[in-house]
Amino acid sequence: MAELKLTAKEIMTKNPITLKKDTPVKQAAEILSENNIGGAPVVDDDGNLIGIITESDLIAQDIRLHFPTYIQLLDGYIYLPGSLRHFEEEFKKAIGAKVGDVMTTDVITVNEDTTLEDMATFMVEYDIGRLPVVSHGEVIGIVTKSDLVKAISRK
């Protein structure tokens, strides 16, 4: 179990491919595809993390929108709680033309000293496939599920 003491610094991909929020979605899809990666951190002009774009975010552009659930009462409509907000989020992603329109902004990150055990826990708990490694707000690396599997296989 010594491998559980490995840290992000030891297994991360340094200087990962990053995108800007004004990158066209089509170009982002091409970059991910050409580099055979499932996602990339989105950074501002100073290299600070502002979001992450994943295959799921890009696929959301091609989904069928599920219209909000509502109840008709007399001559009005009452939208059920949460369904309208969910629809608005889906709609925004479906029509987005730039990475900033479809990226996920609530990003789970780690630092260089985060252990393999903690990273695995985050990935399972939050159902995510990659963790940007951040130092002072700047993306310095990324750890993916594949990186974790490689680290575990070194036993």
24-72: per-residue pLDDT in tens? 888 898 999 999 999 999 999 999 999 999 988 887 655 444 444 544 5
- For 15, how many CA atoms within 13 A lie in the half-sphere containing its CB? 0
Architecture of the CATH domain 2-153:
Roll (3.10)
pTM confidence score? 0.75
**Domain ranges for the chain:** 2-153
User: What is the average pLDDT value for the chain, to the nearest integer?
Assistant: 82
Determine phi and psi for 64, rounding to 5 degrees.
-85, 130
User: What is the average pLDDT across 131-137?
Assistant: 96
pLDDT of residue 5: 84
pLDDT of residue 95: 57
User: What is the average pLDDT across 4-26?
Assistant: 92
pLDDT of residue 77: 52
pLDDT of residue 20: 98
CA dihedral 93→25→20→132, nearest 10 degrees, is 70
Over 90: is that where the pLDDT of 112 sits? yes
Cα–Cα distance for residue pair 146/155, rounded to 1 Å: 15
Q: How far is CA 66 from CA 84, 122, 133, in A?
A: 10, 29, 35
User: What is the average pLDDT across 94-109?
Assistant: 84
Distance of CA 18 to the CA centre of its chain: 12
The rounded percent of the chain whose pLDDT value lies above 70 is 73
Check if the beta carbon of residue 86 is closer than 8 Å to that of residue 144. no
Over 60: is that where the pLDDT of 74 sits? no
Cα–Cα distance for residue pair 101/57, rounded to 1 Å: 10
